[in-house]
Structure 1
C-alpha cells in the first residue's frame, strides 16, 4: 500500500525564464489551505506590483485531492493548466506554483505561452527541495496507569511517535503511525486489556 507522498517544506528560490522580451518569474510555496494560497499570491502582488499576470496552480490534499489552475487574464488554459501539468509530472502535493509575467511587447501566441508557463513552473520545481513524507494516522490512547508499562513497551518495540501526552486521572497519549502499519498497531492496542483506542480525524 502506498503511504508516501512528495511535497515541499519551504518556498523555492525565485527563478526567471525569458521569452521574446517577456519575463516569467517562477515560485513554489508549501500550502495546506486556500487561505495559504491567497496569502502567498498577495505577497507576490506586493513584490511585483508592475507585473501584468500572476498565473498559478495549486494542489492540496494527500488522498482527497483538490486543485485549481488560474490563467489570470492569459488566454484560456494557456497558463494555469500547463503549470498544473508540472505539479502532476513532479507528483507533488500541498504546493502552489506561481509564474509572474512581465509582458515584453511581443505576443507569444497560445502555443508560446503554454510552453513558457510550463518551463517557468518546471524551473521553479527544479529549484525546490522536494521531500518524501509518509501518510500517518493518529490514534488517541486512553488507559489506566497500571497499563503504562505494556503500552510503553509497544511504543518502543514498534518505534511509535508520541505526539502528545496528558497524565491526569488516567493516561492519554496521541500517537502517530504510518498508514501501512496503522491496522496492526490498532489491533495490538485494542487487544491490550482496557486500552481505549480512537482514530483522530
Structure 2
C-alpha cells in the first residue's frame, strides 16, 4: 500500500457559463473502471439532451488506466484537457464528466480547451481534493494510573486518540500515520517506563483536507 496519494473526497458538481454555453463539471471518486463507466453513463443519461458529455478518468495508484472522450468536440479540445486537469492535480481513482449545452457562440479550439479545463476544475474542486494518507491502528494497554499522563502526552504531540477502552486495564486506541508508528511506540514506552502492552492492528487510509484529518 502506498503511504499517500491524492484523490477527491466525494461527488462534486458545479457549473459555469462561458460565451453563453453552459458547462457543468461533475467529478466522483471511483475505485474501478466499471465504477467510472457507470458514473459517466449516469451523467450522459441525465443530460441526454446536452450538446456534449465529455469525460475522462484515471484508475490505479500509478494511473495505469487513463481514458477520455471528446464526445464529438474537435479532437484534442475536450477529452485530453479534461484528463490533463486530473493528471496535473496528480489525482488517482477519479472520474470527471463535463457536460456542455451550446449557447450559439463558437469558442474555437483554444477556447474549448480553456472551457473544458475550467469545467473539469470546478467539478473536482466541488468534490474536495484531498490527500489519502496511510494510517495504522496502534493500541496501548496500560494501568489506569498512567492514563492521564499518556493521554495528555499523546494529545500534546498531535496524535489522534480514536477511543479509550476501559477493561481490567485501559487501552488507548491511536490512529498513527504509518511512518510514525515506531516513533509513537518508543514515546509511549518512555512515558510509561516500559509498563505498556502494544498491539498493532490494521492499516487503512484517512483523508486530509486543508491540513485537517477527516475521521471517516
Q: TM-score, normalised by structure 2?
A: 0.60
Structure 1 runs of 4+ aligned residues shifted over 6 Å read: 103-108
2:115 equivalent to 1:119:
yes
Q: For residue 194 of structure 1, what is the aligned residue in structure 2?
A: 197
Determine if contact 2:28/2:96 at 8 Å carries over to the other structure.
Answer: no
Q: What aligned pairs does 1:103-182 form with structure 2 within 5 A after superposition?
A: 112=109, 116-117=112-113, 119-126=115-122, 128-129=125-126, 130=128, 133=131, 135-141=133-139, 143-146=141-144, 148-149=147-148, 151-168=150-167, 173-178=172-177, 181-182=180-181
Query: What SS is found at the alignment partner of 2:14?
Result: coil
Q: For residue 12 of structure 2, what is the aligned residue in structure 1?
A: 11
Aligned-residue offset at 1:176: 2.5
Could you list the runs of 5+ residues in structure 1 that have no partner in the other structure? none
Determine if contact 2:70/2:77 at 8 Å carries over to the other structure.
Answer: no
Aligned-residue offset at 1:17: 4.2
The alignment's C-alpha RMSD in Å is: 4.3
Aligned-residue offset at 1:95: 3.7
In the alignment of these two chains, the number of paired residues is: 192
Provide closer, same or farther for how the CA distance between residues 107 and 126 of structure 1 changes in structure 2, counting only shifts above 3 A.
closer
Q: What aligned pairs does 1:30-41 form with structure 2 within 5 A after superposition?
A: 30-34=28-32, 37-38=36-37, 40-41=39-40
Aligned-residue offset at 1:65: 3.8
Query: What SS is found at the alignment partner of 1:85?
Result: helix
Aligned-residue offset at 1:98: 1.0
Could you list the runs of 5+ residues in structure 2 that have no partner in the other structure? 205-216
Q: For residue 207 of structure 2, what is the aligned residue in structure 1?
A: none
Aligned-residue offset at 1:185: 2.0
Query: What SS is found at the alignment partner of 1:135?
Result: strand
Q: For residue 43 of structure 2, what is the aligned residue in structure 1?
A: 44
Provide closer, same or farther for how the CA distance between residues 175 and 197 of structure 1 changes in structure 2, counting only shifts above 3 A.
same
Determine if contact 1:53/1:100 at 8 Å carries over to the other structure.
Answer: yes
Determine if contact 2:11/2:29 at 8 Å carries over to the other structure.
Answer: no
1:4 and 1:33 mapped to 2: Cα distance? 13
